[in-house]
Structure 1
Amino acid sequence: MRFRICFTFLFLLASHYLLAQKINDSYRLNIKRASSEIIIDGVLDEKAWMEADVATDFFMITPMDTSFSQVKTEVRMAYDEENLYVLAVNHHAVEGDYIVQSLRRDFSFGQNDNFIFFMDPFDDQTNGFSFGANAAGAQWDGIMSNGNQMDLSWDNKWTSKVTNYEDKWIFEASIPFKSIRYKKGIDEWGINFSRLDLKTTEKSGWAPVPRQFPSSTLAYTGILAWDNPPPNAGTNVSIIPYVLGGATTDFESETGTQYKREIGLDAKIGLTSSLNLDLTVNPDFSQVEVDRQVTNLDRFELFFPERRQFFLENGDLFANFGYETIRPFFSRRIGLNVPIQFGARVSGKINKDWRIGAMTMQTADVEEDALPSQNFTVMSLQRQVGARSNIGAIFVNKQSLRYNPDAVDEGMPVYSEFNRNAGLEYNLASSNNLWTGKAMVLQSFAPDNTGNGFVHAANLKYASGNLTWEWRHEYVSESYTAEVGFVPRRGYYKINPSGSYLFFPKSEKILSHGPTVSSTFFWNTEGVKTDNATILAYNIRWRSQSRFMLWTAYDFVKLQRPFDPTNLGGETLPIGSEHEWFAWGTEYTSKPQSVFTYAFSTRMGGYFAGGKRYNVTADLGYRFQPYVAIAMAANYNQIELPEPWNTTSFWLVGPRIDVTMTNTLFLTTFIQYNEQIDNINLNARFQWRFKPASDLFLVYTDNYLPEPFGVKNRSLVLKFTYWWNV
């Protein structure tokens, strides 16, 4: 306990001494009210643009961060009573066609010529919005949290146009003030503009950003200076209804075809310019893109990110509390195999220092599973302290309505009456982003104290241009429970020191290279060592943006519960058995400029029970830009073990075809063959964005048995959504 208190004190002390004036406050772009109407056509011909101030003379971020960019970019901004306007002229530095994957929305940043800008409308260097496009006109939008984290699943109403010329391409956009949140009366926003030009492999920014950080890092934004505070968004109410029809057939249970006819709606109500109320009634998420399957040889549950729109805006207030394996709240637990009836959420900024989030969701009864209606409530409060740090609190409650204590299955309760979590955390982020970290505590509460437990964790990270190091420790008690969270492992102590160093040689081909070392130790609550994973790697990055890594690792595991090393549901290794092995492997990613791209990884060495494991993965891609992108992902595992397992091998193969006829008309077909779970999944999704944020979806899904080949289940859904501003 003394160690924990000292570590937390060091966090607070570090925050006190790491305060500083905003780094790039000398980079200022004045924004004026538009003196003429602006038509979004990707043409620089309006009077308002001729009179607007210009942001130019971008700084190179990569491959080096010590000079001006060789690729010229010019940016102008303006506004009127309803919209914020942006125009970027992206000049070519090298002759040749632009490089893009497709017209697919929210493209991969590193594989497209693009222009993206990052806004901090609260001027807190922590939260913001991002908009942009690639050189073919595919849109990008995301919501930002924790200084540079980007959630591209967020989607909102705005328009843009890209026009290509022989020597440049122009991006022009109109963003309604109703589509973003900002502090009322503020006349200075944080702003930065990012340009990636793959022909020169150069990434640049208007306000300089050190190369060890993403160009989106809000600690390094310049200032957008308004001639008057941004106009009030006025009545800000959006109604988003949907109508859905579909059919599902389960061939395995032979229950026939079930037809689905539903209506529902979401509503967004701006309580203030920075505080929003979201409502949903009978939501449906059938159009959400399917998760990419992975081979699971882990002893613990896997994590898949949230993609449903309702949970995303200001989602960091709820979902970012804790660490990736210690989350007291994980929204994908809500509506898991049960329908959501309705929900409400208030989230956003109260003032410069305070943010709040409160959400309640109600699910329906499920008679066949003997599950009652359940209520999920989560409340979060966050206060900024120092330059960019904050203190947060969270409370999570899952409550079963009409609780029946006699509902049991094989002697165990089917569900609990309630589960609650309360926690505090301190997030450290220095003004220059060199120091980051977190310290947190959590307490769970359950009926009869059976699930009452405690969590403490903390980390401290330093990242300079060459040197990065981090310390992290965790404690999760055996009785800690988070039924609405993601905590795959309980009853342990953990420490994880890590470090890396990069060399930047004066080479025409190699950009950087250097070693990375990380060691993770686990002990159970009785002090017995249960795990150790130590990895030593060497990384090389070429100026062409291709990458290579060679690694070797040592693993030790003392099993705390039975485990099948093939994860196929067969024989298990006993509790208390000890296993250790060495392994090595490689990873390579090709340069993104080619129309044919590829990546691979290899792994060979020891495994549980004195066995061997061999693994090869490959990702291949070919594009007929900008309309068609074809990809193939393959993963092969061969596990050699003593009897009764012997030799086991299985494939995971996933071809994917993206057809983007325009930047509003998409067809995605995704096939996944997973030999480990004996399933073939086919998912095809057609999307027509006939107006900004308004869509028609047609989604077809099949699941097959590989042998003998036959259909397990099949569904077809047609969904229409319309975004209506009241």
Structure 2
Amino acid sequence: MHLFWRWALCFFCSVYAYSQTGAYKSFTVKYTTEKIVLDGALDDYAWEIAESANEFWQYFPVDSIQAEKKTEIKMLYDDTNLYIGIRVNTAGRNYAIESLKRDFRAGNSDNITLLFDTFNDANNAFLFGINPYGVRREGLVSGGGLDLRGFTISWDVKWKGESKIHDDSYTSEMVIPLTSFKFREGETKWRFNSYRFDTQSNEQSTWTRIPQNQNIYGLTFMGDMIFEKPLGRSRTPMAIIPYLATGTFNDRENQNQENRLKVGADAKLSIGNSMNLDVTVNPDFSQVEVDDQVTNLSRFEVGLPEKRQFFIDNNDLFADFGGARDANPFFSRRIGIAKDTADNTIENPILGGVRLSGKLNPKFRLGFFNIHTQKDEANEIPAFNNTMLALQHVVFARSNIGFYFINRVAFGSDEYITRDERFNRVLGVDYNLISVDNLWNGRFYLHRSFQPDISGKDLSSGASLNYNSRFYGGFTDWTYIGENFRSDLGFIRRDDIVKGTTGFSRTFWPVDSYVNNHRFQAVAQQIWSPSLDMQLTDYTFRGSWEARFRDQSQAEVQWRSEYTYLFDSFDPTGSDGVELPADTDYYYNTIRLGYGSDRRRILSFRGETTIGDFYNGQRLSIEAGATLRIQPKAFLSMQVNYDQITLPEPYSSADIWLIVPRIEITFSRSLFWSTLIQYSNQRNNLGINTRLQWRFAPLSDLFLVYTDNYYVDTFSPKVRSINLKFTYWLNI
């Protein structure tokens, strides 16, 4: 027994040491007074005295050797900026570039990305990236980078970068104002890592070694960048971002045409080194990309991502409560939309709002917003005031406890304001577990809602635990939502449920094989109804095999067995035909095959097909997509979804199509044109959205946006709009 405990102690110490590689890999960021010319050439004298972050580790195709192609990162700083010089060795000049548009996705092109954990908490980080053509991107990582929910490149901030291409390398220079970061005054160290995609050598590498079962942007495995002298107070200038928008809106079905002129502004003010205050007055989101249409064969609402800049910064502080799929009490897209008298979703303009978020100290985060929406008497929509307070405190090494309070109140005493619309309040507490080595993570939460004349069965609670090692993975996730729990600003797919999901996976890592890794996974999910004596309402068992190959292509085979009990009548085709009756149940099985080609190629494709039972009928689904790069100016893509639903008479059968071509042309790094066409016969809509964007100054844009919609069954016009919007970023 004594020998066992000695072995166990050595094992856990080694795991801890491996996860805290920042203590063993570091470099010094020297203070400079030298002038650095931003040209991407690295020929300034200052770079000769700068220390390097080098000796990158390979992440893919294997994660146990040094990278074949060397990468070197140097940093300097003064009282105003952080200066970064990068040299990336390559096999040649045949780079894969998506386009010249800012905020590119990294995985299918050549680029390098830097992660800065400025509070050394392994939970949140700032992200900056650049490619061989000098195209930049910036983003935020939250929740430790456990999954894509904690990764966004929608965040914008002012900084500069240039690159220069050589025969067997490219060099980049970046100048990032210290005001672009949030950090504690007097700080001497940030946690740091960098990851790089090299398409010519088919290599992905990181400065600090990361095992492949962990995300390449995860914050567990990082090193240290040590400042030569402590950082001072960083005074971010107040930014005023006024806009002027004009356009015409034509509802051709109802013969209603309006000419619109809107003026408004956003303001950004830093409070200390760590807090942001955002103010918006009469915001306009006409330049925001339209939502992607989806084919929905389920009985429930589909959640779509937030794209509005006002809600992006520190969004995890507000949105990361409860269960993301079933019981999220705050979903920012609820603000600014509403239902009209015909139960159609329409825009409900925001009059103004304030949003305060950031860190009070290294372990304590605060978030608060108050947003007021406009009254729409014609559509019987009252004015609402929406408020949320969120607090989060780090406990142990990386875990945290969060508390929130949401208050939504209707203003006015109009007859159409029903009693249950008067107010909705939600109060909750969450505990988020992340182990030091990222082997375990989980969540435990308890929420309660308050609304008029409702008492009891108004709780939402859940517990989840995930295990992620190199060879084995497993999770269990349990959710309870009472039939009276309600969050008007949340995403609650259904209530009156107890839901349990448990999964197990085994991953294999072949040596000297065309297969990089492959995995077998089994997942079982059951849903019961508490109000019906825990009657089983849904059951799903899923078994799958997934493989990733050395050329980065992927394949999947999946089998599903499902059971569904319908409480309400339902038309699975969404075609307004004869519905399946309520109080009936169905058993059905499907099999799915999928393949995705190497995304590094000029032309890449993916496809999957699902075939099998569907309620009391049959289903055949085919999904295909392809992308074509005409480097570096154009990026073209096509998505086609086909669902053939065949049900016995007298129930509805349908052929459902979703066809989405997308064209992106980048004339330069400041002039972009994109067109998105979406054809959906399930939604009876053909939508065209085309947008020209000219970034004439940092974060200052001129947008010209044209949107058109048609009914597809009659090809008759619905709604057309043309908008011209001017925004300008002013520092005061």
Shorter-chain TM range is over 0.9
Distance 2:491 2:78 in 1: 45
* Cα distance in 1 between the residues matched to 2:498 and 2:620: 30
User: Aligned to 1:652, which of 650, 658, 665?
Assistant: 658
CA contact (8 A) 1:139 1:663 kept: no
Give the aligned residue type for 1:509. Y
Give the aligned partner of residue 9 of structure 2: none
Report if the CA contact (8 A) 1:160-1:172 is conserved: yes
Tell me, what secondary structure is at the counterpart of 1:316? helix
Query: For residue 548 of structure 1, what is the aligned residue in structure 2?
Result: 555
What is the letter of the counterpart of residue 37 of structure 1?
K
CA distance in structure 2 between the partners assigned to 1:593 and 1:655 by the alignment? 20
Q: Deviations over 1:187-234 (max 9, x none)?
A: 110110111112222111111111111222111111110011223222
- Aligned-pair CA distance for 1:235: 4.9
Q: Partner residue of 1:558?
A: 565
- 1:89 corresponds to which residue? 87
Q: Give 1:375 deviation, angstroms.
A: 0.2
Q: Is 1:606–1:613's contact at 8 Å kept on the other side of the alignment? A: yes
The 1:646/1:571 distance shift into structure 2, 3 A limit, reads: closer
Tell me what 1:219 maps to.
220
Superposition pairs for residues 349-368 of structure 1, below 5 Å?
Answer: 349-368=359-378
Q: How far is the alpha carbon of 1:27 from its aligned partner? A: 1.0
- Aligned partners of 2:275 and 2:360 also within 8 Å: yes
After superposing the two structures, state which structure 1 stretch, 103-112 or 630-639, moved more.
Answer: 103-112
Give the 3-state SS of the residue equivalent to 1:310 in structure 2: helix
Contact 1:451 1:481 in 2 (8 A): no
Letter paired with 2:69: V
1:125 aligned residue (122, 125, 142): 122
Summarize the alignment of residues 174-573 of structure 1 with structure 2, pairs less than 5 Å apart.
174-255=175-256, 257-324=257-324, 325-336=326-337, 337-404=347-414, 406-407=415-416, 413=418, 416-449=421-454, 453-525=458-530, 526-573=533-580
| Aligned-partner SS, 2:578 | coil
Q: How far apart, in 1, do the equivalents of 2:219 and 2:413 lie?
A: 47
Stretch moving more, 204-213 or 382-391: 204-213
- Match runs of 1:11-160 below 5 Å: 22-92=20-90, 94-148=91-145, 149-160=150-161
Q: TM-score, normalization: structure 1? A: 0.95
Please say if residues 579 and 651 of structure 2, whose CA atoms lie closer than 8 Å, have aligned partners that are also in contact. no
The match for 1:689 among 691, 695, 714 is 695
* Structure 2 match to 1:711: 717
Checking the alignment, whether the CA contact within 8 Å between 1:99 and 1:135 is kept in structure 2 is no
TM-score (norm 2): 0.94
Residue 96 of structure 1 and its aligned partner are, at CA, apart by 4.8
CA contact (8 A) 1:461 1:471 kept: yes
Any idea what the Cα deviations from partners look like across 1:271-315, whole Å, max 9, x if unmatched? 110011111111111111111111011110000011111111111
Does the aligned pair in 1 maintain the 2:457–2:482 contact within 8 Å?
A: no
* Counterpart selection for 1:600 from 596, 607, 611: 607
Q: Deviations over 1:495-553 (max 9, x none)?
A: 10012111111134110112111111001112111101111111111111000001111
Measured at CA, do residues 371 and 514 of structure 1 come closer, stay the same or move farther in structure 2, by a change above 3 Å? closer
Rounded Cα–Cα distance in structure 2 between residues aligned with 1:707 and 1:472: 43
Aligned residues: 703
- Shift of residue 151, structure 1, vs aligned partner: 1.2
Q: What amino acid is the match of 1:130?
A: L
When the two chains are superposed, the root-mean-square deviation of aligned CA atoms in Å is: 1.7
User: Does structure 1 retain, via aligned residues, the 8 Å contact 2:56–2:208?
Assistant: yes
Structure 2, unmatched stretches of 5+, are 1-11, 338-346
- Secondary structure at the residue paired with 1:170? strand
d(CA) in 2 for partners of 1:679, 1:217: 40
* Shift in alpha-carbon separation, 1:573–1:450, aligned structure 2, 3 A: farther
Distance of 2:718 and 2:446 partners within structure 1: 45
Please state how far the C-alpha of 1:366 moved relative to its aligned partner. Answer: 0.7
Deviation track 1:351-370 (CA, whole Å, cap 9, x = no partner) reads: 11110001000111111012
SS in 1 for 2:107: helix
**Correspondence for 1:576:** 583
Change (3 A) 1:208 1:118: same
Give distance in 2, aligned partners of 1:487 and 1:367.
27
Per-residue deviation at 1:624? 0.7
CA gap of 1:161–1:569, structure 2 versus 1, over 3 A, is same
Question: CA 1:72 to 1:213, structure 2 compared with 1: closer, same or farther past 3 Å?
Answer: same
Q: Is the 8 A contact 2:93 2:169 kept in 1?
A: no
2:344 counterpart residue number: none
| Deviation beyond 4 Å, 4+ runs, structure 1 | 18-21
Distance of 1:415 and 1:265 partners within structure 2: 34
Instruction: Output the CA distance in 2 between the equivalents of 1:197 and 1:366.
Output: 53
Q: Percent identity of the aligned residues? A: 37
Distance 2:614 2:132 in 1: 47
Displacement of 1:415 in angstroms is 6.3
